Amino acid sequence: MFLSVATIHQPATDLGYLLHKHPERLHEIEQTFGKAWVFYPDASERRCEAALVLDVDPFGLVRGKGQARGLLDQYVNNRPYAPPTAGHAPLTATSIYSKVASRYSCNDKSLRGITMHAKLDLPRRRFLQAGAAFATAGALGLSSEAPAAPRVHTPHNLEALRRSLKGRLILPGEMGYLMAAYPNNARYADVLPMAIAMCAVDTDVQLCIKWANDHRHIPFAIRSGGHNYAGFSTTRGLLIDVKAMNKVSYDLKNGTATVQCGANNQNMADALSGTNFAVPSGRCPTVGASGLTLGGGWGFSATHAGLTCDSLRESNIVLANSHLVTAKNEGPTKDLFWALRGGGGGNFGVNTSFTFELHDVSAPVTIFNIVWPAQQQIEMLTLLQEIQLKFATQISTRTKAFPDGPGAKPKLDQLLVTTLGQFFGPIDQAREALAPALDLVRPIKQDIRQMSYWQARDYLITDDPNGMYDLRSSYVAETLSREAIEAMLHWMMEWPGGSLTQENMGILFAIGGKVGDKKWNDTAYVHRNANFIFEMEASWAPIDKPETVDRQRRWLSDYYDHMQQFLLPQSYVNFPSRDLPKWQHAYYGDNLPKLSRIKREVDRENLFRFEQSIPPA
């Protein structure tokens, strides 16, 4: 194998920036300058030298973070380019490695070159690649946990990434592609990625982040459960899917459970349901533990045991520099750990595992699922909120009003009231707590049963929402007032119509009790001042015409705007909306400045970015 190598001395910068400006010239750049660069900063860190590989062997060389902007800038702007000078003696592979490892440098700023022609056998080629990887790791400050050097990756060479992964890289048209690409919110089902990296181990994630760094003009997204309501886990670039990393283990002696990043609520339940211990988690079985935890983590145990993130003890995370670090509530990662508890998914890196404190759930609980007819809705909804607050840490409810069928502008006598939840205690105490509501209006459905915690969990699960939908969320400080409930019912009766029954037009999720024991700045989850999340939703089916959907979405926007006078100017980051005004403050409130500072520290170049990602300070 013959290689041609030029060593240059130029200011370092980001190749992705140039390719973003001149994507049409990528092929020319590759043909002229080769497809792999290895960089070694000099002692002053003001310039770098690069071994520029013009003819790449099948194994390739690792690329560093910096790029030789001066050289490429000359080319893309049609400035004169000085080719490698002739007359230098051919170098052996050994001498090239020696120069690279010792950070060979030029004494002037002009382009100087050394041309070598060396026939490398396979062992020597592997040796050169390993040496380059080692030197690059040292120069960039990579930890020893960084994976071995990936093969040469370019936007037109995803095949190299495929061969590097222990998991699988799926391209369009290949088996499983459409299934792997499909998100929970079918609104974004037409956002199809150029490739899907199904990661199997932590090093797969690290390789994908290296690839993303090397191709900054190509977008990427991270997916665990795929339930991001606003479609932020979809992309037309590289989709990094960790769903296959779904192992759950526990250590009862130490009272902890370790959950891989691709595990969902069902995986956690399957692993722990044979014990008397649990992690407070969500009710939807396919929601990923990663997104649930990073955004806070509501579930029917929240008022009793706190949010999912409140039980987090540490988390492994791949940062923008591809380091794998363990974030915990001490030492240099303390601030990062703070940010991971409510700062939202996809902002600081790719979390690969979570370690939680386990909670004893050996005591029986009582589930209830009650539906009332369309009578005295305001009084009933007011009373149900009062019951929740009276038994703040014993009961957890999801309460709502909804129409009894599809169709435009339902009447008041079509709006039913329901509450679903669990009481942490025996059935007699639960019935006593619920008695005022049961006595106010005779229910048309009443299911109240005592059972084990894990039986209750199976009873309460749902896959809602799914299909195509849009939503908004806000928080209620104390209770939704009578005037607010009247406004909510009014807007329900203004529903413009569609093929589906709107079951989630106005929901109250109890999120007070134990959640409020922490201060607003104890974790990144800032909404400790609220007793309820208030969610508004519109959903539609393929049979609904575009103009119907447009009317529904306008209704939702107007409804949300009108209700703000009764609600806190806050929103749950795990119920995101692309149309949410002032989303930074709605999601993060007064914790935003600290989150932005942490973002700058761990992702200064803002690699992890999407429409509503935390901006670096």
* Residue 125 region by backbone torsions, left for phi larger than 0, else alpha for psi between -120 and 50, else beta: alpha
- Looking at residue 224, what is its pLDDT? 96
- Looking at residue 209, what is its pLDDT? 97
Q: What is the mean pLDDT of residues 152-180?
A: 84
Q: How far is CA 527 from CA 197, 404, 591, 602, in A?
A: 35, 33, 10, 24
**602: which 2 tokens?**
């761990």
Does the pLDDT value for residue 93 go beyond 60?
A: no
**Over the stretch 321-351, which tens digit does the pLDDT of each residue have?**
999 999 999 999 999 999 999 999 999 999 9
Alpha-carbon gap, residue 420 to 462, rounded angstroms: 12
* Residue 349 region by backbone torsions, left for phi larger than 0, else alpha for psi between -120 and 50, else beta: left
- Looking at residue 22, what is its pLDDT? 52
Does the pLDDT value for residue 592 go beyond 80?
A: yes
- Looking at residue 145, what is its pLDDT? 40
Hunting for tokens 């519109």 — which residue is that?
538
> Could you tell me the pLDDT band of residue 200, with boundaries at 50, 70 and 90?
very high
Q: What is the mean pLDDT of residues 136-147?
A: 33
Backbone angles phi, psi at 4, to 5 degrees: -115, 130
**Over the stretch 3-43, which tens digit does the pLDDT of each residue have?**
233 333 333 333 444 444 555 544 544 444 443 333 323 32
Say if residues 297 and 282 touch (Cβ distance below 8 Å). yes
Higher pLDDT pick, 91 / 505? 505
Residue type, 418: T
- Looking at residue 99, what is its pLDDT? 37
**Over the stretch 248-297, which tens digit does the pLDDT of each residue have?**
999 999 999 999 999 999 999 999 999 999 999 999 999 999 999 999 99
Does the pLDDT value for residue 146 go beyond 60?
A: no
**26: which 2 tokens?**
């990528």
Backbone angles phi, psi at 241, to 5 degrees: -105, 120
Higher pLDDT pick, 199 / 55? 199
Give the total residue count for the chain.
617
Higher pLDDT pick, 185 / 24? 185
Residue-wise DSSP of 85-103? PS-PPP--HHHHHHHHHTT
CA 19 from chain centre, in angstroms, equals 27
* Residue 120 region by backbone torsions, left for phi larger than 0, else alpha for psi between -120 and 50, else beta: beta
Q: What is the mean pLDDT of residues 486-511?
A: 97
Burial class (CB in 10 A: 0-12, 13-18, 19+), 87: exposed
Residue type, 534: F
Structural domains of the chain sorted by starting position, each given as residue range(s) with its CATH number in brackets: 5-140 (no CATH), 158-241 (3.30.43.10), 248-361+590-602 (3.30.465.10), 365-588 (3.40.462.20)
**Over the stretch 202-255, which tens digit does the pLDDT of each residue have?**
999 999 999 999 999 899 999 999 999 999 999 999 999 999 999 999 999 999
**Over the stretch 353-404, which tens digit does the pLDDT of each residue have?**
999 999 999 999 999 999 999 999 999 999 999 999 999 999 999 999 999 9
In percent, the amount of the chain with pLDDT more than 70 equals 75
Does the pLDDT value for residue 617 go beyond 90?
A: yes
- Looking at residue 446, what is its pLDDT? 97
Residue type, 476: V
Chain mean pLDDT for the chain: 81
Most confident of 119-128, 131-140, 425-434: 425-434
> Could you tell me the pLDDT band of residue 480, with boundaries at 50, 70 and 90?
very high
**330: which 2 tokens?**
């001490």
Q: Range with the lowest mean pLDDT among 74-83, 427-436, 558-567?
A: 74-83
- Looking at residue 580, what is its pLDDT? 96
Angle subtended at Cα 257 by Cα 253 and Cα 261, rounded to the nearest 5 degrees: 160
- Looking at residue 157, what is its pLDDT? 67
Alpha-carbon gap, residue 178 to 411, rounded angstroms: 42
Does the pLDDT value for residue 535 go beyond 90?
A: yes
Does the pLDDT value for residue 71 go beyond 50?
A: no
- pTM value? 0.77
Does the pLDDT value for residue 77 go beyond 70?
A: no
Say if residues 59 and 35 touch (Cβ distance below 8 Å). no
Q: How far is CA 87 from CA 50, 84, 91, 113, 116, in A?
A: 20, 10, 12, 10, 11
Those residues whose C-beta lies under 8 Å from the C-beta of residue 314, and which sit 6 or more positions away, are 326, 327, 328, 329, 337, 354, 355
Pairing outcome for strands 468-476 and 532-540: antiparallel
Q: What is the mean pLDDT of residues 125-133?
A: 35
Q: Range with the lowest mean pLDDT among 4-18, 102-116, 166-180, 256-270?
A: 102-116
Alpha-carbon gap, residue 421 to 509, rounded angstroms: 10
Say if residues 256 and 234 touch (Cβ distance below 8 Å). no
